[in-house]
Chain A
C-alpha cells in the first residue's frame, strides 16, 4: 500500500515536472516571438516581457502565484550579472576616448544628484522622514544597462559616438552606485550605522575599491586562462560566463560591489585578444537575452498588478520628479565640465531609462524587513513601467528629432570575424545584392574595392561560382568579401545602395565636398574667401582647429558653421580627424527643389 502511494505521488510529481517544462517553454517562445511584434510597433521589448510576466501572474489568465522574494533576488542578481558582463564585453575601449569621463561623473555624482533631488521632493510631498525619501530615490536612481544597450541599437539607430558611448558606459557603471546607496540607506534606517558620514565613506571605498580591483584582475586572469587552457571550442564561452560569476561572487563575498567587478571583467575580456572571441560574444549575446527574458518575466510574475493601482498617485509623482527634474538636473550638473552641446545634454537627460535594477533594488527593503517595504517595491515597479513606456518608446524619434543620429556605418548582412591565428584583424563579410546595388552588372575584378579587401566567394542560386573574378554581378548574388573592419563603410559604398532617411544620405549629411583633415586653414580661407574666427596660429590645420573647438572630444557628425559653409567631421582615426565634409548652406536666392 505504502509503496503504491509513493509511486502515485511520484507520478504526479513527474507530471508536474512535465507541465512546468511545457509552461516554461511556452512562456519563452511567446516572449521571443513577441520581439517581432514589439519591433513592428516600436514598443520596448523589455516592457513586453514584463507584461507577459504580469499576464502569466496571479491576477492574469496565467494564474501563477509567485511571491518568493528571496528567489527573485537570487535570479535577478544572477541575470543582472550576466547582462552587465555582456555589456562589458561589447564596450570598446576606443569609445572611452569620448565617453569615459562624462559617463563616470554621471555614474557617481549624477546618481547622487538624482537620488538627492528625487528623495528630497518625495519626502516633502508625502511628508515622509528624509531617509525614507532618500531610500525611494536610491531605488530608482540608476539607469538600466539592459534597456539602454538594447534601445540604443534597436531600430537601426546610429547615434553620434559621444552620446552613445556616454549613455552605455554610464548605464553599465551606475548600478553599483545606486545599489550602494540603497543598501546604505537601509542600514541607516535599521540603525546599523551611527552617522551618515564616515561609515558610509568607508563602505563606499570598500565597495568600489574591491569591485574595481577584483574586476580588473579577474578580467585579466580570465583572458589568460582562455588563451592558455586547451578546451573543446564549445566550452570557452562557458568558461567565460562561469569565470564572470566567480568574479561576481568573490567580490560580493569579500564585501565589494560584484556588479562593478563583473562589468569591468567584461570590458577587460572583451578588449583583449582571446581565442574564440567571436564564439564567446555570440554565446553571451544569447545569454544576455536569456537573462533579460528571465528577469523581466520573473519581475512581472512577482508583482501583484492591483497593488500597483494603490500606489499610483505616489508613483506618478516620483516618476514625474525623476524624469522631468532630477535626471535633467543631474545631467546638467555632471556634464558641466565637458560642455556637451545643449541638444546632446537634452537627449542624455531624457534617456535615463529605468529597468530591472530599480525593481531589483525595490526587493532589498523587503528582504531587510524595512517598514512599508512593499509600498516602495510597488512604487519602484510603477516608475519603471512609466519610464519604459515614455522614454523607451521615444528614444529613436527623439534622437532623430534632435538630429543626433549619423549615417549608419555599415549595412553588411553577415559578419564573421575570422579567428585566424596571427591574423585577427580580418573579417569575412557577406552582402546580398539587391536590385538597386551600385555593383550590379560590373565585373568582379573591376570593382573599386578598398585596400586590403578581396572578394573570396560568389554564390548564385545556391551554387558557389568558380573563377569569380571574371563574373558579372547579378541581382540576388551573395558576395563574400575578406576585409578589415575599418574598410566596411567604403565597401558598403561599392556594394549597397544608400537607404534611410534623406537627411542621413551622405550628401545631405556631410555636404558636397570632402576635405582632407590636414588641410591648412590658410589655404582653405584663400580658396573660398572665408574668414575664420579665433584661428590660433598661421599654420593651423583644419583637424587641429576642429579638435580645439570640440575640446579634443570630436566625433563623426560634429559640425561647425563658418560664414556660409558647414564643416562636418566625416571620418576619424582614433583622435585624429582624417576627413571633413564641406557643406554649403543655401542662400535665400538658391533654389531648393527641382
Chain B
C-alpha cells in the first residue's frame, strides 16, 4: 500500500500561495509536479486535470479539493499539495470555496491503485480536526509533516 509519504515531497508542498481561480490553482499544482519529474510537462498535467474537472468538480466539500488524473510517461504515483492564501471557487457541490488542494497523478496502468489512493486521501481529508490543523499550520514544512504523519 502506497503511503502519503511516498506521494509528496517537501518541494511539492506549498503554503499560502496567491491564486484567485480554479484554473490558476490547477496550474500551480501542475507546475509543482512537473518541476520534480522531467517526464511530465506541466501543460500536459494541467490539461489532464482540467479534463477531469469537466466531468464534475473534484471538490470534496468543506474547502478541500482532490484533482486527479492518469498519465502516460510517469513511473510512480506523484502528488502535490497547496494551501491557498484565500479560498478559491471550485464549483464544489457544497458551494464552499476551496483552500486545501491535493493533486494526484498516477501512471496509466494504475487503475485499482488509483482508486485506492483516492479513497485513502478522501478519508484523510474527511477528518475535520486534521483539516483544521492544516489550516492552522505555520509553513510548508509543517504541512508536509502533518500530511506524512497522518498514516505513518
Q: Are B57 and A527 in contact (CB under 8 A)?
A: no
| B122 interfacial contact with A, CB 8 Å | yes
Q: Which residue among B60, B61, B116, B126 has the maximum number of chain A CB atoms within 10 Å of its CB?
A: B116
Q: Are A514 and B57 in contact (CB under 8 A)?
A: yes
Binds B, one of A33-41, A74-82, A309-317, A583-591: A583-591
**Among the listed A494, A507, A519, A590, which residue makes an inter-chain contact with B56, where contact means beta carbons less than 8 Å apart?**
A519
- Which bucket holds chain B's interface residue count? 20 to 34
How far apart are B146's CB and chain A's nearest CB, in angstroms? Answer: 14
B residues 15-53 in Cβ contact with A at 8 Å = 51-52
Q: Are B93 and A590 in contact (CB under 8 A)?
A: no
Taken together as a complex, chains A and B put the C-alpha atoms of A450 and B96 apart, in Å, by 11
How far apart are B105's CB and chain A's nearest CB, in angstroms? Answer: 12
How far apart are A117's CB and chain B's nearest CB, in angstroms? Answer: 48
**Among the listed A514, A580, A587, which residue makes an inter-chain contact with B112, where contact means beta carbons less than 8 Å apart?**
A587
B residues 95-119 in Cβ contact with A at 8 Å = 95-97, 108-112, 114-116, 118-119
What 0/1 readout, one digit per residue, does chain B (64-75) give for beta carbons within 8 Å of chain A? 001001100000
A residues 543-594 in Cβ contact with B at 8 Å = 563-565, 579-580, 582, 584-587, 589-591, 594
Q: Are B116 and A594 in contact (CB under 8 A)?
A: no
Taken together as a complex, chains A and B put the C-alpha atoms of A564 and B111 apart, in Å, by 9
How far apart are A159's CB and chain B's nearest CB, in angstroms? Answer: 23
Least CB separation from B125: chain A residue? A512
What 0/1 readout, one digit per residue, does chain B (133-152) give for beta carbons within 8 Å of chain A? 00000000000000000010
| A493 interfacial contact with B, CB 8 Å | yes
| B132 interfacial contact with A, CB 8 Å | no
CB-CB under 8 A for A529 and B111, given A512-B119, A586-B116, A590-B119:
yes
Taken together as a complex, chains A and B put the C-alpha atoms of A589 and B58 apart, in Å, by 24
Q: Are B95 and A514 in contact (CB under 8 A)?
A: no
CB-CB under 8 A for A529 and B108, given A523-B51, A584-B118:
yes
CB-CB under 8 A for A516 and B96, given A584-B119, A586-B119:
no
Q: Are B93 and A514 in contact (CB under 8 A)?
A: yes
Residues on A with beta carbons closer than 8 Å to the beta carbon of B55: 515-516, 519, 523-524, 527
Residues on B with beta carbons closer than 8 Å to the beta carbon of A449: 95
**Among the listed A513, A516, A580, A585, which residue makes an inter-chain contact with B58, where contact means beta carbons less than 8 Å apart?**
A513
Q: Are A590 and B116 in contact (CB under 8 A)?
A: yes
Residues on A with beta carbons closer than 8 Å to the beta carbon of B120: 590-591
A residues 275-331 in Cβ contact with B at 8 Å = none
| A528 interfacial contact with B, CB 8 Å | yes
Taken together as a complex, chains A and B put the C-alpha atoms of A528 and B111 apart, in Å, by 6
Taken together as a complex, chains A and B put the C-alpha atoms of A529 and B52 apart, in Å, by 13
| A344 interfacial contact with B, CB 8 Å | no
Q: Are A512 and B56 in contact (CB under 8 A)?
A: no
How far apart are A544's CB and chain B's nearest CB, in angstroms? Answer: 15
> 4 other contacts beyond A513-B60, A594-B123, with CB at 8 A cut-off?
A507-B61, A516-B55, A565-B115, A579-B93
A-B contact pairs, 27 of them (CB 8 A): A448-B95, A493-B94, A494-B95, A507-B60, A507-B126, A512-B119, A514-B93, A515-B56, A523-B55, A527-B51, A527-B52, A527-B69, A528-B111, A528-B114, A529-B108, A584-B116, A584-B118, A584-B122, A585-B115, A586-B116, A586-B119, A589-B116, A590-B1, A590-B120, A591-B1, A591-B151, A594-B151
List 8 A-B pairs, minimum CB-CB distance, nearest first.
A529-B111, A515-B56, A448-B95, A512-B122, A584-B119, A519-B55, A514-B93, A516-B56
